[in-house]
Every structure is written in structure tokens, then in C-alpha cells.
Structure 1
Amino acid sequence: MNVELLETCLLIGRWNNQLMPSLETCAVTKLAKTVVDGDFRTVLTSTYAQQVFSVYPSVTFDEPFERFLHWTLPSVSDAQEQELVRLVLAVACLHAFVQANWTGPDLNIKPSDVLIFPQHPHPNLPSISDPLLNSKAVAELAYGGEPAYHLAQSAAFLRFAQILLSAPYAHLSFTAWWRLRVFIVHQQVLDEAVPLPSDVLGSLSPLVERTTSDPDLTGRLQLEQGLLEHLLSHDKSAAEYFVRAARATGLQYELTGALGKRTKFQQNALSQLVLLAESRKRDDDDIHEQSSADASAYDRSLNGSHSQDGGSEGEREETGVKSSLPETLPLNDDTLLEQTEFTSSNPSTTDLLRHLDPSSQPPLHPLDQCILLSLCLNVRNTSPSHGLTNEQMSPYVARVISHPRNWSVHTMALLLRSRLESTRTRTVERSTLQLQALVDQMPTADSELSERLLYFHSIPLPSKWEVERELALRYLSIGVVKSALEIFERLEMWEEVVKCWQSMERRDQAIAIVRDLLQGRKEETESVTSRGKDVSSARRSTLDSAREAKLWCLLGDLEPEHAVEHYEHAWRLSKETSGRAMRSLGGYYFARREYESAVPCLLKAVTINPLLSRPWFILGCAYMRSEKWEGARDAFSRCVTIDDEDAESWNNLATIYLRLDEARKDVNEEGDHASIQGSDASNKTVSFSNKILAFRALKQGLKYRYENWRMWSNYMIVAMDIGELSEACRAQARIVEERAAKIGAECVDEQVLARLVDAVTRAQADPDPNPDDATITAATDPAVEEILTRERDVVMNHSNEGRGLLRRVLDLFERTILPRISSPRIFYAYARLLTGQARWEDALKAYLDGYRCSTAGTLEKGDADVEKWREAVGEVEDIVDALRNFGPRVPGFNWRHQGRSIVRTFVGRSRDFQDEPEWSRLLEIQEGLRNE
């Protein structure tokens, strides 16, 4: 028997005919094939299973499952065969749980069917029922401070799979892969994602070498590792795995444009996004040839131009695919086409995919379809929040939907399309109906279980309750609150139930529901089954504690006046394992500015579950407001590690870097933002290395908050301080674009503008932009040292000094500031810039423009403000000096006439001030111009 080949068959869910000779001679091989075929009842009631799942005679029900059952195979002496049997049983248990909660159809075996009880059991061992087993398993599946979903069906099977795979395996190659799969399924049962056990990913490294001979197996491994990173919100790492998976399987793809029409009345073809993709030729392609042809026919009948209503029922039956694929609902819109109609067969692409016709691409292998759907997830997660995201994702989904080849993969594609269409008025109806259709199809037996499981581990397919929850949230988003409430109550998702009642302004009803649950007047399914049986009080406490603690937290949210009492009770009830209780209590203290009390609670919360970014963020803010900068830096560093698109955390991290070297500084925050003051960024006590780190943090954050003028202001100040003048110029431009319409000239930092002009006109080229630069060599972290050295090189770049900066500063004035703002100081700064370029006529025009909008230029006759008039006299002197200096250099310009006109006009408006000492200065200027 080829053990590694047998393991591979279990992994990919398809039987290899090379193992057929050992079917008759080896019971384990026959058992493995039964698992691949999806007959879990036969496997889990076999002789081997009866030995493993036999209950100890002396055990009580309070014992955990590890000590409740034997888990041994006394009839098997060979160690390798023992491990193989345990693996086969573990896979059967895992896939039985998946069938019950993900893929359907309804499972034909219950956990109680596999347990073998002793003839003389312990007197305290009750009559075991499936609800009681389920409650016990749900309690044991709670992990990392997060409870498991209590209505998960046949949860004992998942727990059995965990225990079977936790045993040592010395003779098998791929058990670490199955541990990864179990962990991914387990993650989706918990309320929140939890940290990965240290041994899961480390044990996968040797598998990469073992799978090199099979490209598809390598692709599956990389893909599943990427899906794990996606679950943990490590989006960049997930993206790398998805690209590696595509490279491993030989998938060629490119998002490009091709001429086409999107609406029924469109006359001219426009460029449309299209995903060109092609799978490599595989040996088993002929197996799927007929099914893909049928699928293509089904797609044509649904989306073809000859049948706008999606094709008749008879046409669909003729294709032979109605019974094996999820129902794809037609759009039936009076304007939009069912799918983009491409009019050009020559897309703008590389030579590798140029031969593909966008309107008639070949079918993709289902594994490659899984990779495309995962890459589609990556587009969503690594793109900023802008309108292009949906447009980028749609071609990925459309490429998969166009050739359905597997039930689960097609279900996932339809689900993604439903999510994309939920935000558009013309498609929101199909979006909701399609989601409902996907919910309805789960219990049906319209396709083989083996087909549904074939690529289950290669796609992020949500569980049944998550799909129903998504449907309820969709109803809630379109205002159908009652239907949403019914679903949430059926799923016993009380947090969402409370939100529904709150949206209807019925907070009293929400409180009543939670109190009824806690006091037993309204019982959850789990509580009913556990309390109605002969179970010890200690066991009942274990079964209920995680759920009950969450309900107390929910009550604390609803009753702020008793919140502390409720949260602390939940914490004690959970035996100090409820991360939710500490998150809520820490947030409560923070909202009331009790930062010293908030910090310990939040520290406990992030210790229990360090994967959630929000508690880290609040902890960082609490540290900042307590002026504990080291702790704040660590907290916000964790925030941006978890979610590198968290712009607020990047901004606050920059603030902290500028405070680390100071004893105490006031923190000026607006909302959750900390605003950097000019004096902070330029303070000489801040080391150059920390300024560089602050600059980099702000630069990263601005990628995701491009419209946030406060962050641009912070960025501009720090950039000026470290000598990054071109970036400071860009930042000033963005601030003007965002704020000029609201506050006018106040949005321009005149000091920054003056320094930029000085940098150009004086053409200083200082090789050492900051004396603190020496701190770079003292960096202890090699990575930080490399970053700082690279940034220093950027600072010394010629685009930040002299003529290299000229173009940027000119653009700042001419394209951004002056078309929006009229201010004397801005015009004078612009004139100085032009003077440095010997553009005398333009400089003189800028001075005159500045004078016209100055105090002197706008002074009205009869204005009695003497201080304002004295200021205006100085401005008249300045403009006359400018005319004397630049006027003779402008050919054909009568500067004396211009000067006399300006002074004469001003004197005419100022006759009320003839008694002031400055009046004589005006007369002297006027006389001087007459005599020149």
C-alpha cells in the first residue's frame, strides 16, 4: 500500500486508481475510499471506530472528551496502520461536521451513533443525547477567550477530529495539513478570530518540499495557507500566498481592458474591465470536458442575448446541469445586460494571453477558479475604500461564474457576486434573492457530497449560520427589520437581535430579552437541553458560562448605569477568560476619561485575544492621554501590524515618535486623532531618527486617508523639519485643495511657504540636513537602521533643494494656491520666487496683485481705524519700492505712472488721517514720484 498516495487522495478528495489493487486486501484503504466517497456513516460506525469511540466504564460526563473516550486501537499492532486509521477517522469526523454546517445535504449520522457505551457504566453517567453531546463539545471548542457558536450542528465531530489529530504522528506525511484545516474550520466557529497555535504553521514548512512534484497539490497548500492568513486579517501575507498558488498551478491571468457594452441601449463600445485567465493543460481535463460543456450551455441559456428572461425551464433541463449546480438568478433589468458584451477580440494585454477572446474564454480548472476568488478577496482587502474596488472585483467573479465546474466553487462565486451587487440600486434585488437561494439550497441533495467537499478547503465558504446572518444583515440594510429580526432570533444571535430592537428605538424590549435569557424565562436551545438532564451543577456551569458571560456583557451595553457591575460579573463568571468582558469594561472607562482604570482592563483583553485591532487602538489612546509614550507606541504598532490600512493608528504612531524623547508634552487630540503641533515636530529634543519614523508613519497612513487634511498638516510639518521639502510642498497642496473653499487663506502655512521659497531662491545645498542625523548610526535594530539610512538619502535628494525644487514650488503656487486664494503674503512670496528666476515682469505683477488685496488696496474712504491705516501706509511704501526696483527692468512699462496712481488713490481715501505723523511720509512718497 502506497501510504503517501493514500494520504494525497484524502487531501484532494479524489480517489486514485493506482490504489485499487489494495482495496480488497487492506481494510484501511477501503475505509479511506469510503471517506473520499462521502459515506461517513459507514466509516464512523466501523469496527475501528467502535474501538476509538468507546466510552470508559468509570468515567463521568463531567470529564472532557480526551478522558471520556478510549481513542486507542488495541486490535491494530502496526504503528503506521494505527496512525492511518486515526487520520481516516479524523477526516471523516471533520467532513461530517462540514457537511452538517457548511455544504449540506443533511447529515445521516449523529455523534451519539458513534459512541460505544460500556455494559456497566458509571452510575453518574446520564443517558447521553445528541443535544447534550453538542453542548459539551461547544463548551470545549471555546478557545482564546472566544465562545463557539452554540447552535453549530454535530459539534462533537469537530471536537473528535481535533483530539484525533492532536496525537503524535511519526509515520505519516500530511497530518500537519489536516491540523491546519481543522484550525481554519474551528476559527469560523468562534465569535472572533484567535491567535494561531505556534506549532501549526511551523509544521507546514516540510510539506512544501513534499508537494513539489505535484503542482496542484502545492497550489492547494499555498492557497489554504493564504486563506488562514485572510481569516487572521493578515492581508499582505495572504496576497503573497495566493500569488504563489497561482504560480504553482500554472494559472495565467491579467486584469485588462477590452471594448464592450454594458447596457442594452448603449450605441458606442467603451473600454470595459475584463479578466483574461487560462489554466495549464492537465491530464484529467478530459474528465471535466463534458461537465464544462454542459455548464457553458447553461450559462449561454441564462445570459445569452436570445433569452432575456434567463431561458425557459425546459431549456435549463436540456443542458443537464440544473440538478448539479446552484441556481444562478438572472438580473432581468430593463437597462443592464446580464453580462458585459465584448465587441473586440483584441484586448490590451501581454503576448502571453493575447490569443484569448474576452467574450469566449476557455473553462478554468476548479482549483484555478478557487485561486481567482481568493485573489478577488485580496483586491477587496488591500485596496483603499474607493469606488474602483467593486469594479476590480467583478471581473474576477464573472470569470468564474461564466464556466461553473464545481458546486461549492460556484456557490462561493455567486455569494461574492451577491455581496458586490448589494450596493447598487439596479442589482440589489437580485443580490438579496440570490443570497436567499443560496441559503435554501444547503439542505438539498442536488449534487454529490463528494463534489461539494472537493474544493471546500480551497475557498472561504461561510457556514450556514453565517450565510443566514448575512441575509439578515442584508434585510436590515434595506429596511426589512422584521424579517432580519426573525432570522436573528432563530439563530439565537442575541447581539444582533438587540441591535434590531435598538434600530426600532425599543431599548426596553432589548433589555427584556437579555434579562429573560439570564433569568431562565427565555431559554436558548443549549440551556434547555443541558438543564433538563441529570447533569452535575459543575458541568452545567461549564456548559453555560461562556454564553452567559456574553449575555451579561450585552446587558452592560444596554444599561450604562450598571455597566461596570455587569462586565465584572461576566469576567468572574467566565473565570477570567472572557475577552469580551474586558474589552467592554476598558472601553467603558476610556469613554469616561478614566484612563488609569481603562489600561489594565484593555491589557487583559489584548492578552486574551491579541488579534483584534480595536482594543489595541483604545489601549494606545489611553496610554497617550496618560502620557505613557512607550506603551502607546507598542499598542499602535500592534494596530498597524494587524491592519496596515488603519490610518488613525499611523497618525497617532507618528505623534508618539515625536514625544518619545520629551519628558512631558500636551496631547492635542480631536476625536481619536492626535494633532501634531509645529513646535513638537521642530523641537530640538526630538532625535532625527524618531522624526524619520514619524514621517514614514504619516506617509503610510496617508495612503488610506488621502482626504484627511489634519494628517496632511502633520505630514507637512514633519517633512519640513527633516528636509523633505518636496513632500512638504505636496502636503501643502493637498491641504489647500481640501480646505481652501472653507477657510480661504488660513489653510496656507505662511512659514512653510516662506521656507520653500527660501530653499529655491537661496539654492542652499547642505549635505547634512540635520545635526541629529548622527543618531542614525546608533540604531540598534538593523531593519530600522536600513530604513533611516534610506530616508536620509531621500532627504539629500536634489528634488528637495535649489532648482530641483523649483518646479514643485511653482506648481504649488500656479496650479493650486493662486487659482483658489488671494492673499497679500502669498502673492509676495510668489513674487520673491519669480524674482529669483529673474522674471521681472511676472514678479512685478505678483507684487501688484498682492497690493490690490492688501489692507491698503482694500481701504475704503471714511474708514476710521487708525492702526489699520498705519499698516496700509507701510504697504504703500513697499509697493512703491517694488516698482522702483523692478519697473525699470520691464521694457515698455511706465512704473512711475503706476506708482503715482497708487499713491494718489490712497491719499484720496486717507484725508481723515492728515493729522497723523505718517501723513508726511505719504506726501514725501508722492513728491518723490513726481520728481523722478
Structure 2
Amino acid sequence: MSQALEAIEKSLLTGQWLTNGSDGHSSVFDIARDVVDGAFHKALTAPLSQQIFSVRATCSSEILDHPLDDWLNKSDPSLDDEIEDELLHLTLAVACLHAFVQINWTGPDLDVKPLNVLVFASGSFASLNEDTLNQKSIAELTCCGEPAYHLTQGATFLRLAQILISGPYRHCRSVPWWNLRASMLHQQILDEPVAVPESVFSAVEPLTSSIAADPDLAARLHLECGLFQHFLSDNKSAADYFLRAAKASDLQYELTGALGKRTKYQQNEISQLVLLAESRSRDSDGPQSDNGQGFQDANTSANTFTKLPETFPLNDDTLLEQTEYTPSSTALPRSRLSHLDPSSQPALHPLDQCILLSLCLNVKNMSPSHGLTNEQMSAYVARVVSHPRNWTVHTMALLLRSRLESSRTRTVERSTLQLQALVEQMPTADSALSERLLYVHDIPLPSKWEMEKELAIQFLSLGVVRSALEIFEQLEMWEEVVKCWMSMGNPERGLEIVRDLLEGRKAEAEEVLSRAKTTTTERRETHSVARDAKLWCLLGDLELENAQAHYEKAWVISRQTSGRAMRSLGGLHFNRGEYSQAIMCLRRAVAINPLLHRSWFVLGCACVREEDWEGARVAFSRCVAIDDEDGESWNNLASVYLRMGEGEAPADAIDQGDLDANTEARNGHEIKRVPFSNKLLAFRALKECIKYRYEDWRVWSNYMVVAIDVGELSEACRALARIVEEKSGKVGGECVDEDVLERLVNAVTRTPLNADDAVEGDISAHQTPVNPSEGRGLFRRVSDLFERTILPRVSSPRIFRAYGRLLTWQSRWDEAIRAYLDGYRCSLAGTMEKGETDVKRWQEAVGEVEEIVDLLRNFGSRVEGSKWQLQARSIVRTFIGRTRDFEDEPEWNRLTELQDELRKEE
């Protein structure tokens, strides 16, 4: 038995029976074969299986008061052989899990129900019906205050799978993998994702080395881990797993360009994005059919064909159905895939198609939201859609294409029709169940209700509110129902619906009859308290005057487990300015579910208002840990670091952060009191922030000031350039922080012009590292700042004088004189007109005249052929002529004496 264990486990994981024909001597083998083939009724009701699903006699009294975990006696082995007994438990867990997937994800309708599987000792449980059992399982699936979707079908199968997978196991090595799959499915039926125990991922790591010899199996493991991380919004980890999956499968792919046409009337071929991809050669690959009527998967027999999910044509008067590429027109002829013809690429293995669809998700995660992202994703999806190999994978590809096309006017019609067709195909039996389940864990296929919800949202975007309302009411998604009524101008109807649900009237009218119940009392006894709490929260959202009472009611009836109630209550207190109460509520909320970014963000803002800097640091650090592309949180974290005051910076705070964009870290006195370690953390946080808020000049201003303070002058120079680019058109010269500009010039000019003069001993400058924040290392960036960014846009006396000092440092005397003269022309003296009466302004202008004359006297002699005396006399004469009204002032004599001196020098 131990020799066949590995083969059976692999068969269960891959969905393909891999053992030989001599295995039928064991009943466990027969059950495993039935599970792989999708015959769940036969497997779950087999005599040997019935021993596992026998309900213990001790549960006969008040059975609904006992958790499902107590119903089964897992400690007593069903078989004498320990390995065989473990395999039986694992096989039945897989059967329950896939039965749950069939009824809620892939279809077609399931031919077995939980009460057909569970075996009771007597007829005392005749009153226990399927709906009551299902509602009990849904209540047990509530996790971290997040309710499971209350219309989930066959939830008992998922609970039974969880119970059976929980072990203990000593011989079956694939159990952690199945636990990963069960955890992923559990997450998908919750309202919001919740924290996953680290052991879920760490337990599958040892499998990586043990299955490394099987590239497809290794690729599947990496892919499923990546999809789980994607669902939890950990984009970086997901991207790493997806790349590891592609490497393990030896999938060759490259996004490149090829000449082609996209419209019917296009005359000239232009470069189009295309994804070149090629699978490695596999022994199991067989002939394929690509005639549009059906297709054959790699694992099916040569005579087994499956009907494709209906693919709607575009039927547009301008756009082509598919981009027409010029044969062999790839833009990169030296590419490793240059031998592929973009217009006729070979079909990919279904597993490689799954990997490409996941990489497509990674493009969406790791790229900003703009048109190029859709173009990139479309190239990945088009490569998969062009060669269907598996019913479920093709369904996922069509769904992704529908999402991409939903935002374009020429494709939105096909997008909606395609999505509707995908929803309607689920109950059909147009393909074998074993095929539908083959790659279901390797793609992010949404559940039936999520797909229907997506269709309703699509209807809403098109203004078809009534159709969307019907779908939401059928799915009993009451929040969306209320939004629909509000969009139709009838919020009172939404409020009435929620009150009817809480009081049981709506259940009596719509649910009791449809579910063949006799009274609403039974329904409400098994009703999930988490869902009741959610309804009270929804009522609080609608009745703002009684919102606090409703949220508190939700908290009480949920037995202090409703994270939604505390989130809503915390937000209410925050909006009222009651920040201490908001902090208390939000800390309870994040303790229940620490994965919700918005709760941490509002908590951080409340802590800032209360000047609880350490609490704000923790909150905003969690924000960026959940979503590292949240520029606002990075900015806020930087602000918190600059306000934490004296003391050492926390060791775990590096590379985390956030702050409100309207708050500037600009107070020089505060920054000086902050420890340097905190300033450095603020600088790193702002450096992350500017990646995601590149066009926000406030963030660049914060970054510039902090960079100056920590000595990163090169980055300060870059920041000042961005500020000028963003603001110069609106505010002119005010966009330049002249203090910062002069400090940058000082950093350059404080070192000798000759680099060798800055080092001691016999070594030369090229043997020493260049500091990018001073001297010649900073010079090029500062010079570009003046010549390419500032001077073409704005001007002021201080800017020209700073530029003149930079030119003086380079001994460019003629250009330096011109810069100083430009500064004088826009200074107070150069712009003073006749009729000026302000003595103080005139006295200041006299000083500027003397200064420019001294500069001409000092620099003019160094420029060959310079007529600096004439320039100086002209400046003095012009200024005297404009300001004769001040002849009685003492400074007037200084001007006349200066004029006489210039005449003598000439």
C-alpha cells in the first residue's frame, strides 16, 4: 500500500488517474478512482465511506448545539492499515471539497447532498433537513467576524473537508497542499479576506523540494500559492510565485511588438503588442481540435470532445475580431521566441495557459491604472483565448476578456453578452465534471454568485438598474439592493427591505416558501448571528440619526465578533470628531480582522488627531504592509516619523509608512528636534510614496525638505525639479524654494573646482568614491536643474545670483556676469520706476547697485575685451536718473561718488 500511496496522492492532486490497472484490489483504491473521475455520490456513499461519516451517538441529544467537528469520530481508525486509513480520510476530504466546488463554482448540479452522506444511528434526526444543516455549517464557517455568504450551497461539504483534512496524518504528504486549497475556498466565501495562519504557507514549503522532479506538479504548487497571495493582496509575493511557476513549467513567453492591423479600414500596418509563448514538449500532449466546435484536452482520450463555452463575436463595423499580424514580423528578431509566427502560434498546454492568466493578473497588480495596462493584459488573454484546451481555463480567459472590454464603447456589448453567457453555462452538462475540476485550483475563477454579482454590476454601469436589482435580490445581496433603490430615487424602499429582513417578514414572503419551510422561527433559530449583525450595520448606514444604536446592537448580537460593527462605529466616531472613541472601536475592529486596509488607515488618522504618534506609526505601517502601493499611507507615515520626537526609532519601522497629502513635513524647527534615525525613516517612506504619487507636488515638497535634512542633496535636487515642473505654470517663481536652491549651490561650490585638490596625499580623485550629494558629484544635477528646468520657466534675483555663483565656481566669468546682470534687471533696483517714494526700498536698491558694480569690477577684468566700465556707469546713471526724488538722502552721495570713481577708472 505504501508504494501506491504517492501515485494516488498525485492522482488526487492532478485530477488524472496515474496508477496502473492492478490497483483495484483495495476498496480505498476504488473510492480514490471514483473521486478522480468526479463520481462523488458513489465515493461518498460507499460502505467504507459510511463508516467515516457515521455520526457519534453522543451527539443524539441537541445535535445542533454540537459543532460538526464533534459529530465525526476521527480518532477511531476505519481500517487496520494505518496508511490505508489515512488515505481513505484524505480521499473523502478531497471528495467533499470538490463536491463543494462543483455546486458553487464549476457546475453542473450535484447529485448528492450532505444528508445522503452523513449516517445517523437512528431515525431521531428526521427533523434535521438540508437547509438547517447548511445554515449551521455557514455559521461555523464565519471567521474573524466576517460572515460566510449565506446562500452558499453545500457548505456542509466544505466543513466536512476541513474536519477530515485536520488530521492527524503521518504518511500522506499532500495534506498541507489540500489544506491550502480548502483555506483558499474558505476565504472566497467570506465577505472580506481574513488573516491566514502562517502555517498554511509554511507547511507546503517542504513539498517544493520533494516534487521538484515533476515540473508540472511543482508549477501547480507555486501557482496556487501565488493565487492565494493575490487574493490576500500581497502582490509582490504573488508575482514571485507566478514567476517560479513559469520557470518550473519551463514556459517561454515574451511580450513584444509585431506589425499588424486592428481595424477593417486600416491601410498601413503598425506595431501591435503581442505575447509570444511556447510550452515545453510533453509526452502527454496529443492532437488538438481548434475548429471552434469543440476541443480536446491533453488528458482526454482521442475520441472525447467537449463543447466550448460560447464565445461571442465582436460584430463591430470598425474593429477586427482579432488583430491581423504580418507573418514573422516580430520586432525583436534576436528574441529566443523569434521563430514563432505571431499570426499562427502553437497551442499551449492548459497549465501554461493558467500561468499566463495569472501573469496577466500580475500585470494589473504591478502596473499603474492606465491604458497600457489593459493593452498588456489583453495580449496575455488573447494568447490563451486563441487556443482553448480546457473548459474551465477557457471560461476564465473569456471572463478576463469580458472585464477588459467592459470599459470600451465598441466592446462593452460583447463584454456584457459574454459575461451573461458564462453565468448561464454553469448548470449545463456540456463538459465532463472531471475536466471542469482539472485546473479549477490553478485559476482565479469566481464563484457562481460572484460571477452573477459581476454581471449585475455590469448592468448598473450600463444604466440597466432593474435587471441589476433582480439579480441582487435573487442573490440576497441586500447592500447592493439598497444601492439600486437609492439610485432609482427610492431610498425608503431599501430601508423597508432591511427592516423586513430583521423582523422576519421578508423571509416569510420570499424565502420560506422557496425553501419549503413552515415558519420563519426555524430559519431565525439557525440564522447566522454574523449575518444578523451585518443587517443591523446596514440599517445603521441607512438611518444615520440612529446609526450608533444600530451599530452597537450589531456588536451585541454578534457576541462581540462583528468586525463590520466596530468598523462602522469607529468611522462614525471619527466623522464626529470623537477620536478617542474612534481609536477604541477601530482597534477592536483590526484585532478581529487585521487585513482591512481602510480600518488601519482611519485608525492611523485618529491617532494623529490625538497625537498618539506611536499608535499612528503602527497603523500606517500596517497600511503599507497590506498595500505597498498606497502612496497616501507612505506619506502619512513619514509625517508621523517627523513628529515622534526624541528617542530611538523603532527597529521594525524601516521601509514602512504614510501621511495626508495636505500635510507638509516642512516645519524646520520640528525637524531639527527629531532624531536623525527618524528623519531617515521618513525619507525612506517618502521615497516609496513618490513612486505612487508622482504628480503630487506636496509630496515632492515634503521629500525635498527631508532629503535636505538627511543630507541626500541629489534627491533634493530631483524633488525641486519635479516641483518646478508641476507648479511653474500656475505660480511662477514662487514654485522655487530659493533657500533649498542656494543650499544646493553651496554644497557644490564649497569644494575645489579641481577634483584632485579635494583629496590628500598622492592619490588622485578618480581613485576615491564620488559623493552624489556634494562637489562634482552633485554639480551635474544642479547644473541641469538650472539650465533645463528652472531658467526656461521662471526667474528671480536670487535664482540668477545662485546660478551666477555656480558659474563663478566654474570660472565661466563672462556667463557669470550675464547671470548676475539678469538678476539685477529683475531685482528691486533694476525694476524701480520714477515716482518711487519708499525710502527703505530705495536704500535697499542702492545696496543692489553697489553690489552689481563691485561684481563687474571684480569679474570684468577677467573677461578679454570686456567693457565692464561702460556697463557699470550705465547702471549707475540710469538708477540716478530714475530716483532723483531722493537727492536729500545720505545714500545719494554714495551714488554720486560711485559714479565719479567709474569715470576715473574708465
- Taking structure 1 as the reference length, the TM-score comes to 0.88
| C-alpha contact 2:28 2:84 (8 A) present in aligned 1 | yes
Distance in 2 separating the partners of 1:530 and 1:575: 28
Unaligned runs of 5+ in 2: 297-302, 649-657, 754-767
Distance in 2 separating the partners of 1:721 and 1:296: 68
Distance in 1 separating the partners of 2:528 and 2:513: 11
Give the aligned residue type for 2:827. Answer: S
Displacement, 1:887? 3.0
Give the aligned residue type for 2:705. Answer: I
Displacement, 1:283? 0.9
Question: 1:612-651, aligned counterparts within 5 Å?
Answer: 612-651=596-635
Identity of aligned residues (%): 64
Moved more, 518-527 or 250-259: 518-527
Aligned counterpart for 2:415 among listed residues 414, 422, 431: 431
| C-alpha contact 2:114 2:156 (8 A) present in aligned 1 | yes
Displacement, 1:648? 1.5
| C-alpha contact 2:804 2:819 (8 A) present in aligned 1 | yes
SS at match of 1:838: coil
Distance in 1 separating the partners of 2:624 and 2:27: 53
Question: Is 1:723 the equivalent of 2:711?
Answer: yes
Displacement, 1:258? 2.4
Displacement, 1:447? 1.3
Describe the superposition over 1:679-734 as per-residue Cα deviations: whole angstroms up to 9, x where unpaired. 15740x43332222221111112111111211111111111112111111001001
Give the aligned residue type for 1:290. Answer: Q
SS at match of 1:340: strand
Question: 1:602-621, aligned counterparts within 5 Å?
Answer: 602-621=586-605
SS at match of 1:889: coil
Question: Is 1:329 the equivalent of 2:312?
Answer: yes
Displacement, 1:529? 8.4
Which residue number in structure 2 is paired with residue 22 of structure 1? 23
Describe the superposition over 1:6-62 as per-residue Cα deviations: whole angstroms up to 9, x where unpaired. 11111101112x332222x22221221111111212222222333333344524233
Unaligned runs of 5+ in 1: 300-319, 766-794
Distance 1:138 1:672, change over 3 A: farther
Which residue number in structure 1 is paired with residue 471 of structure 2? 487
Distance in 2 separating the partners of 1:536 and 1:199: 41
Distance in 1 separating the partners of 2:222 and 2:319: 38
Which residue number in structure 2 is paired with residue 677 of structure 1? 666
Which residue number in structure 2 is paired with residue 801 of structure 1? 774
Displacement, 1:468? 1.3
Question: Is 1:689 the equivalent of 2:677?
Answer: yes
Aligned counterpart for 2:860 among listed residues 887, 893, 896: 887
Distance 1:558 1:478, change over 3 A: same
| C-alpha contact 1:489 1:497 (8 A) present in aligned 2 | yes
Distance in 2 separating the partners of 1:145 and 1:171: 35
| C-alpha contact 1:651 1:673 (8 A) present in aligned 2 | no
Distance 1:335 1:901, change over 3 A: farther
Displacement, 1:541? 5.0
| C-alpha contact 2:325 2:343 (8 A) present in aligned 1 | yes
Distance in 2 separating the partners of 1:915 and 1:636: 65
SS at match of 1:145: coil
Distance in 2 separating the partners of 1:340 and 1:297: 23
Question: Is 1:810 the equivalent of 2:783?
Answer: yes
Question: Is 1:896 the equivalent of 2:872?
Answer: no
Which residue number in structure 2 is paired with residue 747 of structure 1? 735
Which residue number in structure 2 is paired with residue 760 of structure 1? 748
Question: Is 1:905 the equivalent of 2:900?
Answer: no
Distance 1:436 1:283, change over 3 A: same
Distance in 2 separating the partners of 1:205 and 1:406: 28
Give the aligned residue type for 2:645. Answer: D
SS at match of 2:274: strand
Which residue number in structure 2 is paired with residue 33 of structure 1? 33
Aligned counterpart for 1:416 among listed residues 383, 386, 400: 400
Question: Is 1:498 the equivalent of 2:500?
Answer: no
Distance in 1 separating the partners of 2:487 and 2:882: 64
SS at match of 2:64: coil
Which residue number in structure 1 is paired with residue 547 of structure 2? 563
Displacement, 1:460? 0.7
Distance 1:507 1:680, change over 3 A: farther
Which residue number in structure 2 is paired with residue 11 of structure 1? 13
Alpha-carbon RMSD across the aligned residues, in angstroms, is 2.9
Which residue number in structure 2 is paired with residue 313 of structure 1? none
Question: 1:646-665, aligned counterparts within 5 Å?
Answer: 646-662=630-646
Distance 1:663 1:746, change over 3 A: farther
Displacement, 1:134? 1.6
Displacement, 1:193? 0.6
Displacement, 1:570? 0.7
Give the aligned residue type for 2:92. Answer: L
| C-alpha contact 2:636 2:659 (8 A) present in aligned 1 | no
Distance 1:688 1:230, change over 3 A: same
Distance 1:892 1:434, change over 3 A: farther
Distance in 2 separating the partners of 1:722 and 1:686: 11
SS at match of 2:629: coil
Displacement, 1:462? 0.6
The count of corresponding residues between Structure 1 and Structure 2 is 871
SS at match of 2:253: strand
Question: 1:199-238, aligned counterparts within 5 Å?
Answer: 199-238=199-238
Distance 1:623 1:607, change over 3 A: same
Distance 1:283 1:735, change over 3 A: same
Distance in 1 separating the partners of 2:752 and 2:308: 71
Which residue number in structure 2 is paired with residue 462 of structure 1? 446
Moved more, 849-858 or 698-707: 849-858
Moved more, 145-154 or 862-871: 862-871
Distance in 2 separating the partners of 1:916 and 1:425: 75
Displacement, 1:925? 3.6
Displacement, 1:350? 5.1
Displacement, 1:333? 2.4
Distance in 2 separating the partners of 1:502 and 1:739: 41
Distance in 1 separating the partners of 2:205 and 2:319: 48
Which residue number in structure 2 is paired with residue 167 of structure 1? 167
Distance in 2 separating the partners of 1:764 and 1:551: 73
Aligned counterpart for 1:829 among listed residues 799, 802, 812: 802
Describe the superposition over 1:66-119 as per-residue Cα deviations: whole angstroms up to 9, x where unpaired. 233556877633222222222222211111111111111122222233233433
Describe the superposition over 1:589-636 as per-residue Cα deviations: whole angstroms up to 9, x where unpaired. 222222211112111111111111211122222222222222222222
Question: 1:113-512, aligned counterparts within 5 Å?
Answer: 113-121=116-124, 125=125, 127-286=127-286, 289-291=287-289, 293-294=290-291, 324-343=307-326, 344-348=328-332, 351-512=335-496
Give the aligned residue type for 1:686. Answer: V
| C-alpha contact 1:126 1:534 (8 A) present in aligned 2 | no
Moved more, 432-441 or 471-480: 471-480
Distance in 1 separating the partners of 2:495 and 2:837: 67
Distance in 2 separating the partners of 1:509 and 1:119: 48
Moved more, 615-624 or 564-573: 615-624
Distance 1:535 1:441, change over 3 A: closer
Distance in 2 separating the partners of 1:867 and 1:435: 76
Describe the superposition over 1:726-774 as per-residue Cα deviations: whole angstroms up to 9, x where unpaired. 1110010011111111222222111110010011111289xxxxxxxxx
Distance in 2 separating the partners of 1:679 and 1:579: 41
Which residue number in structure 2 is paired with residue 849 of structure 1? 822
Distance 1:298 1:217, change over 3 A: closer
Distance in 2 separating the partners of 1:909 and 1:482: 78
Distance 1:444 1:924, change over 3 A: farther
Give the aligned residue type for 2:323. Answer: T
SS at match of 1:258: strand
Give the aligned residue type for 2:103. Answer: A
Describe the superposition over 1:289-327 as per-residue Cα deviations: whole angstroms up to 9, x where unpaired. 223x4469999xxxxxxxxxxxxxxxxxxxx99962212
Distance in 1 separating the partners of 2:584 and 2:513: 37
| C-alpha contact 1:617 1:636 (8 A) present in aligned 2 | yes
- Taking structure 2 as the reference length, the TM-score comes to 0.91
Which residue number in structure 2 is paired with residue 311 of structure 1? none
Give the aligned residue type for 1:98. Answer: V
| C-alpha contact 1:135 1:526 (8 A) present in aligned 2 | no
Give the aligned residue type for 2:16. Answer: R
Which residue number in structure 1 is paired with residue 534 of structure 2? 550
| C-alpha contact 1:851 1:857 (8 A) present in aligned 2 | yes
SS at match of 2:615: helix
